[in-house]
Amino acid sequence: MTTETLAKTPLHALHLELGARMVPFAGYDMPVQYPLGVMKEHLQTRDQAGLFDVSHMGQLVLRGANAAKALETLVPVDIIDLPVGMQRYAMFTDENGGILDDLMVANLGDDTLFLVVNAACKDQDLAHMRKHIGEQCEIESLFETRALLALQGPKAVDVLSRLAPEVAKMTFMQFAQVRLLGVDCYVSRSGYTGEDGYEISVPNESAETLARSLLAEPEVEAIGLGARDSLRLEAGLCLYGHDMSTSTTPIEASLLWAMSKPRRADGARAGGFPGAEQIFAQQQAGVASKRVGLLPQERVPVREGAEIVDADGNIIGAVTSGGFGPTLGAPVAMGYVQASHVPVGSDVWAIVRGKRVPMKVAKTPFVEQRYYRG
């Protein structure tokens, strides 16, 4: 894909003005880093506040009396009882129990749900919903009309409450319509960094004004995809297409926590989503391999795709995400290993440029999550 054919977010000109290094990502020309550099951008977000352009993500609205019930037939998550003004993490599953995408779902009230899906999957997600539930509710794509900004870090609350004091009272995963600089925005207290912060859905034409206003605050710096990746990795958060895909189920991906209790095998509304039988069978019988956190024991970054072996050199898995964790001051990784090596503390090795790098299976998150729960 040439730069000319890549899509651009409404903040594209601002990224260039700020000196960003641009890279192709999910069909978009996106900032991977700014002159500050990935390491400083990462630490800035952990210590102060960082502003991310995540407008490449897909935003959608579902409307109608049956919207929640309809969406629930596609995800192993409780949507029907999702309170108004709250957001929940969900996954689309296929008939084999594989993960088609992960997404966020918010209840706006008035029989309206607001969804954020991954950039690389948004067109297929829209087609998937139109095919399966299009006759049960109205599905409106906001792909071309709204931008998405993420303001993350411990100072995010101070910054955003200068524009709208009410956001300070929001807690983790709350969702509200908020007026920012005279513009109606959707704001959730959530993010993809492990830090406190907000995601802000804003009309395209107002995105640059809002971004400039936030960047003008002393605590805020622009942050690129490079630091976004190292931040989410330290927080133990999956990246779709890497740490989970159609070839992994929620059980294999260690995402049982995201399957709401009412939708599990013994729940009040058990099953009824694609692949439920396979997922329930795995929950009962266990799986051959599972996603785990990995801490390399040498200062060698272990990257995605590296084979994982046991003490005898037998291949037992592969790394799906890896790099250096600036907050931790050490390399971190995630990957899939055979069930016998899943227990925390298990010794495994990654093959990096033909050499064995010792690793220990570790609990995630690697860095404590600091979501604001009130």
Residue ranges for the known binding site are 199
pLDDT reading at 1 higher than 90: no
Instruction: Indicate whether 372 and 308 sit together in one domain.
Output: yes
| Across 18-42, average pLDDT | 98
Same domain, 187 and 296: no
Cβ atoms of residues 56 and 25 within 8 Å? yes
Tell me the average pLDDT across 29-36: 98
pLDDT, position 4:
73
In a domain, 110, yes or no: no
Alpha carbon distances (Å) from 24 to 28, 38, 314: 6, 17, 36
Q: Say if residue 186 is in the same domain as residue 324.
A: no
Residue 239 lies in a domain: no
Query: How many domains in the chain?
Result: 2
pLDDT digits (tens, 9 = 90+) for 273-299: 999 999 999 999 999 999 999 999 999
Q: What is the DSSP string of 9-70?
A: -TTHHHHHHTTPEEEEETTEEEEEE-TT-HHHHHHHHHHSEEEEE-TTSEEEEEESTTHHHH
State the average pLDDT over residues 137-143. 98
Is 67 domain-assigned? no
| Beta-bridge partner residues of 103 | 90, 117
Residues 137 and 66 sit within 8 Å (Cβ to Cβ): yes
**pLDDT tens string 170-187:** 999 999 999 999 999 999
- The span from the CA of 289 to the CA of 54, in Å, is 32
**Pair (228, 297) in one structural domain:** no
Confidence of residue 104 (pLDDT cuts 50, 70, 90): very high
Map tokens 């630490």 to a residue. 43
Query: Are 215 and 297 contained in the same domain?
Result: no
CB 256 within 8 A of CB 76: no
- Asked if residue 48 and residue 150 are part of one domain, the reply reads yes
Q: Which domain holds residue 160?
A: 3-54+144-234
Task: For the chain, give the longest Cα–Cα distance.
Answer: 64
Indicate whether 153 and 215 sit together in one domain.
yes
Task: Please enumerate, by residue number, every residue annotated as part of a binding site for substrate.
Answer: 199
Q: Are residues 50 and 149 in the same domain?
A: yes
Q: Is 116 inside any structural domain?
A: no
Residue 255 belongs to some domain of the structure: no
Could you tell me if residue 118 is inside a domain? no
**Alpha-carbon span 165 to 137, nearest angstrom:** 35
Q: Is this prediction's pTM over 0.95? A: yes
Is 109:67 a contact under the CB 8 Å cutoff? no
Q: Is residue 313 part of a domain?
A: yes
Q: Which tokens hold the place of 43?
A: 């630490």
Task: Write down the pLDDT at residue 3.
Answer: 66
Helices and strands of the chain, counted as H and E runs: 8, 19
End-of-domain residue from the set 199, 234, 269:
234
Give a yes or no: residue 42 inside a domain.
yes
Q: What is the mean pLDDT of residues 324-329?
A: 97
Q: Quick one: which of 371, 364, 278, 277 has its CA closest to 321?
A: 364
Angle (CA) 24-143-321 rounded to 5° is 40
Same domain flag for 163 and 31 = yes
Q: What is the CATH number of the domain that holds 371?
A: 2.40.30.110
Strand-pairing partners, residue 62, are 113, 139
Q: For the segment 235-268, what is each residue's pLDDT rounded down to a tens digit? A: 999 999 999 999 999 999 999 999 999 999 999 9
Domain identity same for 228 and 294:
no
Q: What angle do CA 50, 46, 24 make, to 5 degrees?
A: 50
Instruction: Specify whether 25 is located in the same domain as 155.
Output: yes
Task: Please give the Cα distance from 191 to 149 (Å, whole number).
Answer: 10
State pLDDT tens for residues 211-234: 999 999 999 999 999 999 999 999
- Nearest Cα to Cα of residue 348 among 301, 304, 313: 313
Tell me the DSSP string of 170-233: --TTBEEEEEETTEEEEEES--SSSSSEEEEEEEHHHHHHHHHHHHTSTTEEE--HHHHHHHHH
372 and 293 housed in the same domain:
yes
How confident is the model at residue 2, as a pLDDT?
62
CATH of the domain at 193: 3.30.1360.120
